[in-house]
Structure 1
Amino acid sequence: MNTLLSLQGVHGGTGVTTVLAALGQALHAQGQRVLLVECSPDQMLGLHLGLPAKEAGGWARAQLDGGDWRAAAFACAPGLAVLPYGRVDDAEALQVEQWLQAAPATWADRMPLLAPQFDWVMFDLPQRLPAHVAAINQHAACTLPLRLACVDPANHVALQRHSADARRVLANRYDPAVPVQRDLMQLWLHSHAARLLPQPLHEDARVPAALASKQPLGRYAADSLAAADIDGLALWCLAESARRQAEGAHG
């Protein structure tokens, strides 16, 4: 039985794509078979895994062109693959959004095809395409739907405004040497304790350098603080997935 994980920022620019690529690599290093699926028209996920910037193919591009979405996947290593979104313009992204509104079970129907090949299917979710998000989190019954928040005042306000969102929250770019971040983290530990993941991701200059080298963080800088954080997050994900599957088996 595979585990579905989704990651979406509380608003734009929180580092969703970078974190998802690094987490996929970390789970793969733990012996897991991982597929990373891009659901954002930004077409950036493949860059973290060595795809050329000019690559235009992807599952959404295939849908628009009448092609096979499975043929758009790229094998990055044995047991690690990425399925890009594909290069589209704004009007075409809206077409895909409308298609998912009309066929919200699309990804749920695809999961049986992916289950024998992958232990984890991980989705990079966009900010402003709600049918893309609902197709994964609601209709495909995502196992671990997560939100990503940077430890800063703007993200704090976003969390307050969406306090009814039950998804677990992962803190990113945390620097305890910055007083406002340290204060916010203490406030989050108090007010969002039930939802906050136990492993925050610390600020680390080697994270953007990994993207510049077109490698996931754990491959580019395995000895970095952020890579150690990601490794801890991967272990939490494995434990949480096992716990939920055990609950389902006894439920």
Structure 2
Amino acid sequence: MPLVCVCSPKGGVGKTTVSANLAYALARSGSKVLVIDFDVQNALRLHFGVPISDTRGYVAQATAAVDWSQFILKADANLFVLPYGEVEEEQRLAFETSISRDPHFLLRGLNTVLNYPGLVVIADFPPGPVAALKAVQSFADMHIVVMLADTASLSLLPQMENHKFLGAPMNSRLGEYYVVNQSDMRRNLSRDVSQFFEQRLGDRLLGTIHRDECVPEANASQRSIIEFSPVSAAAFDIELISKKVAAIVGVKVGDGEFYAVPNHGIK
């Protein structure tokens, strides 16, 4: 079971969209994928066809429930989502306090899904060095940092490389990698920043996702970019990134063979 954390030092980089489309691509290749939302905005579910009126999630009951797998929703044959859910301010604070005070709180809640054979878990975090991101640092298998092809993201790269984001190396297992999102090769600045990231990061750069008007349209229709426009530039970019992620975490795709574990939210 690989746990892949998608994060960013800044907001507005398309992190949730990247998480959702990466999950779709891996599931399409044959992996069972669970995506977990750690953001109070509760927006990740909307990428998987969950109605906006469906406010279910794990956070409201996380402090009382030991096993959070009971709150998992099925999005597709191989695709599952664990929504943050709609919560009151007191519930959000109780959840974050539990994370801060108990170093094993998240691990207990996710223990069942983290031990599900063959499952890829993608966790989407809010921007910045939030408590949940710090809490999974010790057991996450891989971190993906999403940046934009702009000067604001570029200025934050030294902070990431010098381990100032979380105060320590982000990942001690398979490492930290980067995705540059919304690169527009028609604009000199965007092209130059993208090229700088490529030269600076080398193999740590999983790929660049080109700016594509099909992406917001796919989001609006609650579909993946690969389903909405399979021949688009963004769909091609996501496919390549998903193959690299699968190779790094050691996921076999395309064979369709999985193990069944009883008493689970994933069937």
| Fold equivalence (TM over 0.5) | yes
Aligned counterparts, 1:107-186, within 5 A: 107-114=106-113, 115-116=115-116, 118-128=118-128, 130-138=130-138, 141-165=139-163, 166=169, 167-186=176-195
Q: Give the whole-Å Cα distance in 1 for the aligned partners of 2:203 and 2:118.
A: 30
**1:248 counterpart residue number:** none
Compute the displacement of 1:130 (Å): 2.2
Compute the displacement of 1:194 (Å): 5.2
Compute the displacement of 1:44 (Å): 0.3
Q: Give the whole-Å Cα distance in 2 for the aligned partners of 1:176 and 1:80.
A: 33
Letter in 2 for 1:125: F
Q: Give the whole-Å Cα distance in 2 for the aligned partners of 1:64 and 1:56.
A: 18
1:234 paired residue among 221, 239, 242: 242
Cα contact 1:14–1:172 (8 A) shared by 2: yes
Compute the displacement of 1:91 (Å): 4.4
Cα contact 1:9–1:15 (8 A) shared by 2: no
Cα 1:18–1:176, aligned 2, differ >3 Å: closer, same or farther?
same
Cα contact 2:34–2:82 (8 A) shared by 1: yes
Q: Give the whole-Å Cα distance in 1 for the aligned partners of 2:38 and 2:185.
A: 32
Q: Deviations over 1:59-84 (max 9, x none)?
A: 11222576963222110112210000
Matched, 1:76 2:84: no
Q: Give the whole-Å Cα distance in 1 for the aligned partners of 2:9 and 2:129.
A: 14
Cα contact 1:175–1:182 (8 A) shared by 2: yes
* Higher normalized helix content (fraction of residues): 1
Q: Give the whole-Å Cα distance in 1 for the aligned partners of 2:140 and 2:121.
A: 10
Cα 1:179–1:95, aligned 2, differ >3 Å: closer, same or farther?
same
Letter in 1 for 2:133: V
2:196 paired residue among 187, 194, 197: 187
Matched, 1:6 2:5: yes
Q: Give the whole-Å Cα distance in 1 for the aligned partners of 2:212 and 2:67.
A: 39
5+ long unaligned stretches in structure 1: 244-251
Q: Deviations over 1:144-197 (max 9, x none)?
A: 111100100111112233331353211111111210011112222233335322
Compute the displacement of 1:118 (Å): 4.9
5+ long unaligned stretches in structure 2: 164-168, 170-175, 252-267
